[in-house]
Structure 1
Amino acid sequence: MIRHILSISRLILGGTAFQILGGAALQCVRETSFLGNPVERSTGECGPGGATELSPALQRWEKWKQSLKSRRDDRVLTHTLQRCGKWLALTLGFSRCGEAAVPPQRLKPHSQRCRDRSAEALRHPKSTSILSHSAITCALVVCTLSAFAGAADAAPGDVVLRALREEMNRTKAQLKMDGVLAPYYIEYRVTEIDQYDASAVFGALRNQQHNHGRLLRVVVRVGDYKQDSFYGSGEGAIDLVPSDDDVFAIRHRIWLATDRAYKAASEALSAKQAALKQLKVDEPVDDFAKASPVEAVEPLAHFSATELTSDLTSWIHLLEEASGQYRTDKDLENFESSLRFTVENRYFLNSEGTVARSGHAHYVVSIAGSTQASDGMLLQRSHADQGNDLKDLPTREQFLKTTARILETLKLLRDAPVVDEEYRGPVLFSNDAAATVVTELVEPNVLGRKPQLGENARTTGKWSSSYKSRVLPDFINLFDDPTISTISGQPLFGNYTLDDEGVKAQRVSLIEKGQLVSYLIGRQPIRDFPASNGHGRAAAAAAPAPHPGNLVLQSTDPQPDAGLKAKLIELCKNRDLPYGLYVETMGPRLEPRLLYRIWTKDGREELVRGGVFGDLDVRSLRSDLIAAGTAPAVEDRSEPVWFSVLSPALLFDELQVKRSQAAKQKLPEYPAPALSQAASRP
């Protein structure tokens, strides 16, 4: 079995069974109000040993292995590995499990060898966000156990929290190795994910999957707050824990991961101290910030009974119906709809006394399509709706209306003229497009990330040396507030009470009158910022890092959107330009998806295609941004954590837009088949 699981692991890592999710988000929808102004919701456009009695879970595992020897059900084995691959892909940031052929083989018990290999591999990770081949092999075995073991009787109380508490108390009292410093800090984090995915393409259901699992990350720090082992292999150990509510099985996995993390931390501290002897840092800062202990145990999130039965069935039928509208356009190359319903429960305990538990649900439905223009240019459109409750999603009529709009804009794009070879002049971004600009250009540069070992920079990013300097126009303010849960009744996805390092969420003013006054900070201090401001956030099993919650850009002199359009036309007339450009929505890499000429003579809007920006960067934000609107749009992102960005429309005095030089695909050599029985008749 190990041999075949290794082959599947290589297949996964080789990328042939999965598609990596890009940084693109999906376009969004709905209108409400914010501080008295309308708000449009958007997500951009795509978008440690002795013998013990076997636990109940392990007993079931042994029983299942014996039954499999006589059954050898190839389809069950293949299906199990595919589901495990899907779960691994989920935890590692991949999407969509492909079909992987698995040769029929009898499973053999190699659990101990697998565990040993996994322990060795996790002592030396180059990146804590990626598992080694051996670790993935072990994870597949654990996942197979989870897929076939029967559900344990529900224990009273929260079994996961109980296991974490008991093992933390035992670890604090007993974890010590001769000749090695005792840990000064220990951290346990478990993320439990229950997720349903479904998609339909061209009117037919393509896949429907349910994945459930628990992912553990253990961090053991050796040294002290000033200088510790959080470096290289010392950044933690990752493991899957049983999905059954078996407290002993869960504690066993925590114990093994803690042992690995402690040994790796000892080695990492020695390596770090050796490296520092070769480096000179002008203003050293502490490695880890102290934080007051907090206990915040919130309710767990669960799917309701109807969400997994009638509601889910209704949505799957709607996906089929929506994607079936491809029949109205024979020139479509792809048209699909999808859903992802996710319940995520997070647990966090550390040796300082912090205990936290939180649960959240996310519901996302989307529609996406692509086509080609007559010159071979690839054209794409996508749209997503999401919420913290099924009630936040659109009705059937609303979803089908959105689908029709996507189809209509694809047709219009095919017939639209290509942009001129080069344009330099005023450009107006809708609030939807502006939110994408803020997400791509502003958000990465207000993160107070600790620079690499030995570097003297304050932080990373383009604004690393801009503290207390002007980075945006003086009429722009920017703040982040994870404590905001809604805006005019509309839920925000960046809301949280404690961050993933056990620090209370805080509102942070980042830019005041265009001047950068702060960064978002976790518990890794940077120069001038010795303490966390509650923004150490992490994806499942990943190391915490600074990330926003709800990032809000505002103008001290907001102007109505109609006034911004009039200002655009005025600027063009003053420069004898026949038209200005208006960006309605953006795609990946800050490329316009819907771009319009606004003619100065009569204000007419004309859709164009094939345009890309030549100089849209942080310098243009500082120097060329001249006005902002009143009504913000909300863009939600989920990579690497959920956060929301709010921005009004933005007007730039001058930007360069040029014709895309991307390679064009050859059109099909003969016409598409008929889309209905009637159309196929002579």
Structure 2
Amino acid sequence: MRLPCLPVIPLLAASTLLFAAVPPADPRQSLMDAMVTELTRNQQQLQLKGHEPPYFMSYQLKDYDQYAIGARYGALFTDGTSHDRRLSADVRVGSYEFDSSVPEEMDFLVSTKGTSFFARPDGPIDDSPMALRTALWLLTDEKYKSALAQFLKKKGEDVYTVEDPKRPPSFSKEKPNVHVQAPVAFPFDREKWRKVARTLSGRFNAHPELFDSDVRITADKVVRIFVSSEGGRIITEETLYGLHITAVTRAEDGQLLDDSRDFYSPTEAGLPDDAKLAEATDKVISELLELRKAPAIDPYTGPAILAPEASGVLFHEAVGHRLEGHRQDDDREGKTFRGQEGKQVLPGFLSIFDDPSTRTMSGEPLNGYYLFDEEGVKGQRVTLVEKGVLRSYLLSRQPVEGFLLSNGHGRSQGTQKPVARMANLIVDSSKQVSDVELKRQLIAEAKRQGKPYGLIIRDITGGNTNTASYGYQAFKGVPRMVYRVDVKDGKETLVRGVEIVGTPLSAVNRVLATGQKQGIFNGFCGAESGMVPVSTVAPAVLLQEIELQRTMEGKDRPPILTSPSAASQASAKNQ
């Protein structure tokens, strides 16, 4: 007898609903499980006979997705995507008090001795747990051998070193963090941005004096998986969209001049709309045309106002880098602020702190935001200078005398070793005046010093600084839009051809007053551990004295012929 078919239908429907209700597996979790499995195996078994096993290990996988579109002269030059995975392993021999860790450049020298093979830091872009474990196995083996060799070398060198009871531990003990961030959307409207790139770059064609230009749109997503032998288990995702407009020209005397606008946002929708981008492009064009005609000025020493973005670069270069923790105990460093804790180092109306946990300021996103640093420590706000008094340093898991715990500032690019770095450096002032009053004080100070003019620096491309003990403690800034302010009538005249130079403590201790509005400088900072996204938030500052030297003058001729587009336009008009 045949059974009726009707009851089968609801059973199939229920089964379908049951399977539909099960969420798809998270590939990030399977990758983390593979990392934990290999970490545990090495932690339990990795030991060269007669020598110490690792006391600490951590693995990190970074999954990179990128879109990049670039256009010049109204046409696309770049249109690509990339997907890459990179691995890093931190393997330490010894103990928290004294271990094998050394600066990355010294570790490299040890690890290359007597070997003809190097484990590649590439990770599989397929979600293959066994392939991932195999790549980590080779990397761990190499790191352990290098760490063991370095540990023995350090122990030998320690025989010749005077005992220092104040020597800080090699590695800080931190509470492990467990955090799995939800996936972050990563849209990219390729057709839209192709059109934007072509349109914006085409606006430069009408100005043959600007002989080269570039419009670049990038979108980057980084998925990071971190595991450690202490129990750290972290998955985070970060996205950063960038839009960059640049152009170059030459003045009649041959000096190369450039100008740009840079926009960053953690979301695609946060980038400026078409109207704002067109306005920014036209501003680059007009500023460069003005700079071509601007007079070059001689070297200058005297009072100056730095607009908020320029002020931020000053504090970043002159102060921020010198408060990075690892510089305080390194004999190769100048140690500008070593031993100054609790002492006055800046004017009493200035305070500085760094806060990677701040995502936005006045509605504008900050590049330096993150949840956890490269060592698995939560990013924390730290007060560096309070009312002119030094309070703390930017700290990774490399302790500093008197500061034995990390405040979540161990940062790096890619697979490089993390060191203490800035994130969102924020400058606060209790001596604020209006822009009008700041300019009045500039003129008054210039008169007092017998100067025919003061300066206003409204834009700056960036800067650099030397913190090493073998060099001079100095910094340099590259201003772009500099205005000479006549002390007689306050008239502002655009000038060119100078760059800011000076010694850090001298410069920042000559701040007389600040503006009321804070400006945001978003960008990237390069140092020992690579390029990392950073922000500086600061008000305009009036400096009692600033020194400007002449830039490289350049004597190159501009292109001899006009551009093809300009020649074509001229031909069309003559017909």
TM-score per shorter chain, which class?
0.7 to 0.9
For the residues of structure 1 that align with 2:558 and 2:363, how far apart are their CA atoms? 47
Q: Is 1:645 aligned to residue 518 of structure 2?
A: no
**Native 8 Å contact 2:213 2:246 kept in 1:** yes
Which stretch shows the higher mean deviation, 166-175 or 282-291? 166-175
Partner of 2:184 in structure 1? 301
- Equivalent in 134, 139, 150 of residue 268 of structure 1: 150
Q: Is 1:625 aligned to residue 508 of structure 2?
A: no
Partner of 1:395 in structure 2? 273
- Equivalent in 504, 508, 516 of residue 378 of structure 2: 504
Residues 20-39 of structure 1: per-residue CA shift (max 9 Å, x gap): xxxxxxxxxxxxxxxxxxxx
For the residues of structure 2 that align with 1:238 and 1:525, how far apart are their CA atoms? 30
Aligned-partner residue type, residue 318 of structure 1: V
Partner of 1:240 in structure 2? 122
User: How far 1:447 sits from its partner (Å)?
Assistant: 0.4
Partner of 1:406 in structure 2? 284
- Equivalent in 515, 527, 538 of residue 401 of structure 2: 527
Partner of 2:10 in structure 1? none
Aligned-partner residue type, residue 74 of structure 2: G
- Equivalent in 177, 196, 207 of residue 78 of structure 2: 207
**Native 8 Å contact 2:382 2:407 kept in 1:** yes
Structure 2: state its 5+ residue gaps: 1-23, 112-118, 464-476, 526-530
TM-score by length of 2: 0.86
Aligned-partner residue type, residue 248 of structure 1: M
For the residues of structure 2 that align with 1:238 and 1:635, how far apart are their CA atoms? 36
For the residues of structure 2 that align with 1:181 and 1:447, how far apart are their CA atoms? 32
**Native 8 Å contact 1:218 1:238 kept in 2:** no
Aligned-partner residue type, residue 605 of structure 1: E
Partner of 2:93 in structure 1? 222
- Equivalent in 420, 434, 438 of residue 560 of structure 1: 434
Q: Is 1:609 aligned to residue 492 of structure 2?
A: no
Partner of 2:305 in structure 1? 428
**Native 8 Å contact 1:614 1:657 kept in 2:** yes
Aligned-partner residue type, residue 290 of structure 1: K
**Native 8 Å contact 1:467 1:517 kept in 2:** yes
**Coordinate RMSD, CA, aligned:** 2.2
Q: Is 1:543 aligned to residue 413 of structure 2?
A: no
Identity of aligned residues (%): 31
User: How far 1:373 sits from its partner (Å)?
Assistant: 0.7
- SS of the residue corresponding to residue 260 of structure 1 reads helix
**Native 8 Å contact 2:327 2:335 kept in 1:** no
Instruction: Work out the number of aligned pairs and report it.
Output: 520
- Equivalent in 251, 254, 267 of residue 373 of structure 1: 251
Residues 79-130 of structure 1: per-residue CA shift (max 9 Å, x gap): xxxxxxxxxxxxxxxxxxxxxxxxxxxxxxxxxxxxxxxxxxxxxxxxxxxx
1:456-605 superposed matches below 5 A: 461-589=335-463, 590-605=477-492
For the residues of structure 2 that align with 1:529 and 1:163, how far apart are their CA atoms? 35
Which stretch shows the higher mean deviation, 571-580 or 583-592? 571-580
Which stretch shows the higher mean deviation, 200-209 or 608-617? 608-617
Aligned-partner residue type, residue 156 of structure 2: A
- SS of the residue corresponding to residue 645 of structure 1 reads strand
With over 3 angstroms needed to count, the CA separation of the structure-2 counterparts of 1:604 and 1:156, relative to structure 1, is closer
**Native 8 Å contact 2:315 2:508 kept in 1:** no
For the residues of structure 1 that align with 2:357 and 2:26, how far apart are their CA atoms? 33
With over 3 angstroms needed to count, the CA separation of the structure-2 counterparts of 1:246 and 1:512, relative to structure 1, is same
Which stretch shows the higher mean deviation, 511-520 or 491-500? 491-500
For the residues of structure 1 that align with 2:287 and 2:155, how far apart are their CA atoms? 59
**Native 8 Å contact 2:211 2:563 kept in 1:** no
User: How far 1:337 sits from its partner (Å)?
Assistant: 0.5
User: How far 1:382 sits from its partner (Å)?
Assistant: 0.9
Partner of 1:664 in structure 2? 555
> Larger C-alpha radius of gyration, 1 or 2?
2
- SS of the residue corresponding to residue 594 of structure 1 reads strand
**Native 8 Å contact 2:255 2:555 kept in 1:** yes
User: How far 1:170 sits from its partner (Å)?
Assistant: 2.1
User: How far 1:628 sits from its partner (Å)?
Assistant: 1.0
For the residues of structure 2 that align with 1:568 and 1:160, how far apart are their CA atoms? 59
**Native 8 Å contact 1:445 1:464 kept in 2:** no
With over 3 angstroms needed to count, the CA separation of the structure-2 counterparts of 1:358 and 1:554, relative to structure 1, is same
- SS of the residue corresponding to residue 315 of structure 1 reads helix
Aligned-partner residue type, residue 215 of structure 2: S
Which stretch shows the higher mean deviation, 311-320 or 660-669? 660-669
Partner of 2:134 in structure 1? 252
User: How far 1:271 sits from its partner (Å)?
Assistant: 1.4
Q: Is 1:441 aligned to residue 318 of structure 2?
A: yes
**Native 8 Å contact 2:211 2:559 kept in 1:** no
User: How far 1:674 sits from its partner (Å)?
Assistant: 5.0
Which stretch shows the higher mean deviation, 483-492 or 407-416? 483-492
User: How far 1:485 sits from its partner (Å)?
Assistant: 1.8
Aligned-partner residue type, residue 301 of structure 2: R
For the residues of structure 2 that align with 1:167 and 1:481, how far apart are their CA atoms? 34
Aligned-partner residue type, residue 641 of structure 1: V
- The structure whose residues are more often strand, as a share, is 2
For the residues of structure 1 that align with 2:551 and 2:423, how far apart are their CA atoms? 34
- SS of the residue corresponding to residue 213 of structure 2 reads strand
- SS of the residue corresponding to residue 680 of structure 1 reads helix
Aligned-partner residue type, residue 395 of structure 1: D
Partner of 2:224 in structure 1? 346
**Native 8 Å contact 1:301 1:344 kept in 2:** no
1:95-174 superposed matches below 5 A: 158-174=29-45
User: How far 1:679 sits from its partner (Å)?
Assistant: 1.2
For the residues of structure 2 that align with 1:193 and 1:376, how far apart are their CA atoms? 41
Aligned-partner residue type, residue 486 of structure 1: T
- Equivalent in 13, 37, 60 of residue 189 of structure 1: 60
Aligned-partner residue type, residue 142 of structure 2: R
User: How far 1:662 sits from its partner (Å)?
Assistant: 3.6
